[in-house]
Amino acid sequence: MAENKNKIKLESALFAGFIVTLFLSFILISVFSSGKDTLYSAYVEDESKNLQWRQLNLMASDLEESTPRYLDLGYNVANTMSTPMLVNDWKEPHRTMLLIVAPEKPITITEADAVYDFVTKKGGKVIIASNNSNAQVVADKFGVQYKDAYGGLLDGENFYSVKNLSNGEMSKNKDQQNIWALASIQKEVQEKNKGCTSEQSAQYEEGINSCVMPVMFDMPTAIQVLTSGEGESDDQTSKDYVERNVNILASASPSAFLDNAGDRNIDSPENQILGPGENGLIIRIDYPNQKAIDMPELGTYDEIDVTGSIVFVAGQSAFANYLWDSEEATNTGRESFCLHLGLDPRPCWTSQIMSGPDEWQGNSAYFETLIFDMMEFDNQELSNVITSNPDQFNIVFDESRHSSSPLVEPFSETISTIVLLTSDVWLKWLILLNMIALLAISVMVVPDKENWRHVFDLTRFRERPKKVLPDEHQQRIREALMGKVRLFHDLTRSEMTMKTPAEIQSMIKDPRLVELAFSRNRTYTPDELRELMRTIRRWGK
């Protein structure tokens, strides 16, 4: 009895420990997530004014409503709340774009591997925008580095001015972290003197290769391509060679520097002046000639060539409401970014664009064009039914990288953990072994049951079992013999009854079995019956 009580106590302790752990996990996650505001979310629309202008709901709405070529048709917009690891399980990955903007939580190596495979093996599209190291794990997979500095990136040449909302005049605070850049869409453009609108660039192929658009940044960092991707080689003769095209679409000015000291002084020895190739703001990497299954013609599926693309952006603010939409920009004092012209010797993009439109229409004009170009709209191998319907292309916002409300956070973390654990081979085995160990513990702590025995009862349910008499046993064996003879000769019951004893004896042939079938006076011992049963089993083989 004492041993049983100890086992029961151990079982209760294990169960209580599980409940306490679950409760503490819920409480701790809720506590750490409390007091944190959700920023850069595509689905927050009712925050206070100071927070709402740092959301992405205007971007999600615009992408869902229109595209540069089809002004009244938009993408299929969705979100993922769990983890980016699911990207390779999505339908039509080559027609899907994942947007990771302002990741507040670090991206794991396993998630980064999934994103890399999504781009390089499935033809997927990805845009990652961040000004901190949370995106570096993914950037490492593609040979890209996010610069990290205490005071951020400062550009004493290409920075814009804002209005003081209290008096309507240009702010006297010259913030060199308010950086503008002229950005190309598809390739790196050396002569950035031809402007265009999103509609113009989407209508003709060559226009998208040569024109630029102004893009505004607020407190960005700098990004640089260091090497080829992880496990890739630039040598075409190498077995690890991977074809890819790298283009720096936008850069800060040559005078931009990293404020490592935090003193905003370009002459400080700790601060680093960035040269060409080191001061990137938007980097695009394309992986062409990948294979995917889709519809080259309506109703038929075949293998087609697609291009996987990933774009790294040096700051998440470029997508926020206050820089995405020109009206929102006006409400935050950014009515005109060239207020300093005539008052300050530094240039503005309007003096660099010599032909075509030079007005800033919100960052939406540029990024909508970039997204449109990254998708497969101009893929000649795709059916026109697909390329003329933007809702056949998917835009997925990664909401799992943002802080959620204290009530939602435990559930989203649980889902992320489950997906993470079940998506890695080694972790799957680890979980399986742990489950076996827990099962073994549960078996050990179950109290021993009393001794018992089982009686195999072949009678009807609830019917009192009856002992089989020797005569009845002999009759059952005889019936079994006759049944086997009938089936062996493929006879029906009526055909069997019409057979004469002589015919049946000729069918059986074995003298001992003939005696069993026709002798009514012969009595068999149990040993003889067992021997006859073995003979019946062998008969006919």
What tokens were used for 186? 């598809």
Residues in the chain: 541
Q: Are 533 and 477 in contact (CB under 8 A)?
A: yes
State if pTM tops 0.85: no
CA distance 534 to 529: 9
What tokens were used for 301? 């599926």
Task: Assign 498 to helix, strand or coil.
Answer: coil
Q: In this structure, is the dihedral angle defined by the CA atoms of residues 182, 185, 190 and 194, taken in order, positive or negative? A: negative
Count Cβ neighbours within 10 Å for each residue of 95-122 and write b for 16 or more, e otherwise: bbbbbbbbbeeebbebbbbbbbbbbbeb
CA distance 170 to 175: 12
CA distances from 115 to 44, 77, 395, 425 (A): 25, 19, 15, 17
CA distance 13 to 173: 63
Predicted pLDDT at 358:
85
What tokens were used for 441? 């513990």
pLDDT tens track, the chain, 541 positions: 455 555 456 556 666 666 666 556 555 444 444 445 567 887 777 666 667 788 899 999 999 999 988 889 999 998 887 677 777 778 889 999 999 998 887 888 888 999 999 999 999 999 999 887 788 999 999 999 999 888 889 998 888 888 777 776 776 667 888 899 999 998 888 778 888 888 777 665 566 777 899 999 999 999 999 989 988 988 888 888 999 999 999 999 988 999 988 888 888 889 998 888 899 999 999 999 999 999 888 778 899 999 999 999 999 999 999 999 988 888 887 766 776 666 777 778 888 888 888 888 899 999 999 999 999 998 999 999 999 999 999 999 988 765 555 445 555 555 555 555 455 556 556 666 777 777 776 666 555 555 555 555 555 555 555 666 667 778 888 888 888 888 888 888 888 888 888 888 888 888 888 888 887 778 888 888 888 888 888 887 7
Predicted pLDDT at 465:
56
CA distances from 285 to 100, 207, 352 (A): 16, 20, 26
What tokens were used for 44? 């927050």
What are the residues whose beta carbons fall under 8 Å from the beta carbon of 365, sequence distance 6 or more?
197, 198, 213
CA distance 431 to 422: 9
CA distance 97 to 118: 10
Residue 174 DSSP symbol: -
Count Cβ neighbours within 10 Å for each residue of 423-451 and write b for 16 or more, e otherwise: bbeeeeeeeeeeeeeeeeeeeebeeeeee
CA distance 455 to 464: 12
Q: In this structure, is the dihedral angle defined by the CA atoms of residues 190, 191, 196 and 200, taken in order, positive or negative? A: negative
Paired with 96 in beta bridges are 394
